[in-house]
Amino acid sequence: MSVVVLRHPKERRSKCTLEPLRGRPGFRFLKASTGLSFDATGHIVLDVDAPELAPDSAPVGAAPLLLLDSTWKLLPQVRACVSGDPICRSLPHDLRTAYPRRSKRYGDDPLRGLASVEALYAALRLMGHRDDSLLDHYPWKQAFLHQWE
């Protein structure tokens, strides 16, 4: 399993649900800065409008994952750093976040929007790599895992 996290520079590390995974084997964190071009050819990239991710759809199971970490508003800036020919996939429509949203701009987030660590967990699990320890530092771990039962 290989995961690249491409994070918007304005994303606050102190609030990021992926930060506890920094330094973990198989993970690489990059800052989506001006001028960066990441060749995502062959990587799975999550996109809400793409076909659904399924473990039996080759070459998904063995492909590395590129996770775009940003607010929904700033996501186009992160996506602009991605080049090449990625494999775009979406997560199942029935997944719901356990993260308690308090933003006055709640309407800006897609109804299917997940916390970054939730999206990471879901994508890897659907790719055949179940690892509940990815959520060990996530306060809403049990609530999120409940929907997988």
Distance (Å, rounded) from C-alpha 10 to C-alpha 7? 8
**CA–CA distance, 50 with 18 (Å, rounded to integer):** 23
Total residues found in the chain within this entry:
149
Tens of pLDDT along 63-92?
899 999 988 888 899 999 999 999 999 999
Cis peptide before 64 (omega within 30 of 0): no
Tell me the HSE value of 77 on the side-chain side, using a 13 A CA sphere.
16
Considering the entire predicted model, what is its pTM?
Answer: 0.88
Instruction: Please tell me the distance from the alpha carbon of residue 44 to that of residue 59, in angstroms, as a whole number.
Output: 9
Domain ranges of the chain: 3-146
Radius of gyration of the chain (CA): 14
pLDDT surpasses 90 at 37: yes
pLDDT, tens digit (0-9, with 9 covering 90-100), for 118-128 = 999 999 999 88
